[in-house]
Each structure stands twice: as C-alpha cells, then as structure tokens.
Amino acid sequence: MSTEEQRLPVIDTPRAPAARRGAVARFFDSDLWYSFRSSRLVIVAAAITLLIVGAALLSPVIAPHDPYDLRALNLMDSDLPPAWVKGGDPRFLLGTDDQGRDILSTILYGTRSSIAISVLAVLLAIGIGVSLGLVAGYFGGIVDTIIMRIADVKLTFPAILVALLINGIAQTLFRGRLGGAEFWILVLSIGLSFWVQYARTVRGMTLVEKNKEYVQAARLIGMSRTAIMFKHVLPNVLSPVLVIGTINLALAIITEATLSFLGVGLPPTEPSLGTMIQIGNKYLFSGSWWMVAFPGITLAVLVLAVNLLGDWLRDALNPKLR
C-alpha cells in the first residue's frame, strides 16, 4: 500500500463556532471590557440605558394601556394624579393627562418614538458625514474645499435652528398635508443638523490614512478609488465615529424633545417625550405637575445615561489614555 493510500481522509470541521468563541473571548480579555467593568458608574449608566430602551421596545407588551387607542380613552379619567396621591386611581400608576391617557403607558410609547427618531437621525448623519469626509479627504483639491466650506457655513448655525428651518420648509412644501410624515421629517431635520462633525473628523483621519503603505499597495494593484475608500480607509476611521455617534444620540434625543416642545414635532396623538412635556407644561401651574414631571425625569435620566456611556467610550478608545 502506497503512502498516499495510507493517508487518512481529512474531515473539514466547521470553524465558525470556534471563531465566534474566539472573538467573544478576545472581547472579554480586551482593555475595553476591563475599562467597562472597572467603572461602577458606567455599569449603572449602561443598565439604566438598557432598561429604558428595553421597556420602550416592549411597550406594546408591558404598557398597562394603549395611548393610541382613542376608543379606550375616557375624559372622565383626565387629570388624575398618581395612584399614591389623594384622588388617584390604582389603574393609572403615574396619573393621566388632559385626554385621560395613562402617563406611564404614554411615557413608554413616547420613549420608543423619541429613541427611534434619534437613532435613525444619527445613522443618517453618520452616513452623510462619513461619505463626505471620505470624499473630501481622499480626493482633496477643489472637492475638499467645496465640502469643507459648506461644513463651515453649517457650523455658523445652531443645530436646533437648522432643524427648525428644515422642518419649516417641509411643512411649507406639504402645506399641512403631511399624512403621518412628521416622523420622517424629524429624522431628516435632526440628521442634517449633525453631519458636519463626522465629516470633519473622517476627513482629517483620511488625510493621514491615504498616504500609508496599504493604500499605496491597493493603488498599485489597480483597485478603484471607491473600493480603496470604503474597503480599506473606512474601517480605519470608524472608531471616533462610534464615539461621536454615541454622544450625538443624546443630543438627538434632546433636539427631538425641543422640536416637539416647540410644537413642530410629532402630533399630540403620537406622543413623544417632548410632546408630553409640551402638553404638561400647559397644566403645570394648575397643579397637574405629574404631566410634565415624569416625562421630564425620564428624558433627563436617559440623556444622562447615554452621555455617560459616550464619555466612557471616548476615554476607553483613546490610545493616549491607556
């Protein structure tokens, strides 16, 4: 029997589970995980964020009432104080608003709307800013000049003013016939207000990365500029984008609440945290403090927790602080 005949057959075993286990093990051995578990404040912030986001996502399941079901509303239940206050109703733990909606249920549904708008707006800003930053940094010249001058002009206006302007233009174009498009108008308004920081950051890093050897090698083998930018340069400039995105998420939540408070956000029938605060503010001095207090506390706690996570992520990914 020849040597080749004596060889045992090679059995290919799936390596994906092992690779996944290796990736998980590397994560738990990383400096990022050590930094996370070493800070009790960050752990508490992460727990609060997960609790609020999880409750918002599960609002159709865990909410005691459906604030969108107008048939279930009863004006006789309006302006009820929290259950532990004299005159409260055990059915409404945190009280009711002027339309008889349960405050707790409205907070859960409203938080879901606020988070959804903010996340989509940040993703839109990242998409626009990263793309423009890559193009400006890689091509340079007149392209870089035009994009950066547009960014400079944008920086002269506050984000909330830009969002109000875009929202007003959309309202004028549709002339009140939005048909439920308020959600996407808010996403567009906030997203177009936050793209500059991503563009400037990615441009600066691209100017450094495009002169490195791996980019020069990709050019020599004939790769297109688009492939080099998105396959080679982009993965190496995403770390600060993640940090900025986390911090901007808190700013987006505040911006959405501000727009809704000013009356240019979601309609009262589709509550968000800002809409609830705006409605509750009208009844604050009449003694119905719970209408504005509980949505305001929820907004403040959520923004503070996300900000703490963003600050920790910025420090954890900064090589100078390791």
Cα separation values, 232 from 23, 189, 282, Å: 21, 31, 54
> Could you tell me if residue 167 is inside a domain?
yes
> Could you tell me if residue 46 is inside a domain?
yes
> Could you tell me if residue 87 is inside a domain?
no
> Could you tell me if residue 53 is inside a domain?
yes
Give this prediction's pTM. 0.83
> Could you tell me if residue 171 is inside a domain?
yes
Check if the beta carbon of residue 164 is closer than 8 Å to that of residue 262: yes
pLDDT per position as a tens digit, 70-104: 777 777 777 888 888 887 788 888 888 888 888 88
Q: Using the structure block, give the residue that is written with the tokens 């791996």.
A: 214
> Could you tell me if residue 196 is inside a domain?
yes
pLDDT tens per residue across all 322 residues of the chain: 454 445 544 444 455 455 555 667 776 677 777 777 778 888 999 999 999 999 999 988 888 888 877 777 777 777 888 888 887 788 888 888 888 888 888 899 989 989 999 999 999 999 999 999 999 888 888 988 999 999 888 888 887 888 888 877 877 776 656 556 778 888 888 888 888 989 999 998 888 888 888 888 888 888 888 888 888 888 888 888 888 888 889 899 998 888 888 877 777 777 888 888 888 888 877 888 888 889 999 999 999 999 998 888 887 776 655 5
pLDDT per position as a tens digit, 11-57: 444 554 555 556 677 766 777 777 777 788 889 999 999 999 999 99
- The CATH code of the domain that includes 112 is 1.10.3720.10
In the structure encoding, which two tokens stand for residue 99, read together?
């339309």
> Could you tell me if residue 220 is inside a domain?
yes
φ/ψ bin of 141: left (φ > 0), alpha (ψ from -120 to 50), beta (otherwise): left
Check if the beta carbon of residue 201 is closer than 8 Å to that of residue 244: yes
H helices of the chain, in order, are: 3-6, 16-28, 31-37, 40-57, 59-62, 103-139, 141-155, 159-174, 182-191, 195-209, 213-220, 225-227, 238-261, 273-282, 290-316
In the structure encoding, which two tokens stand for residue 263, read together?
């009356």
Show the domain range for 272: 38-70+98-321
> Could you tell me if residue 90 is inside a domain?
no
Among 164, 294, 313, smallest CA distance to 250 is for 313
Question: Residue 146 CB: number of other CB atoms within 10 A?
Answer: 12
Q: Please return the burial class of 218, using the count of CB atoms within 10 Å of its CB with bins 0-12, 13-18 and 19+.
A: middle
The DSSP call for residue 230 is I
> Structurally, how many domains does the chain consist of?
1
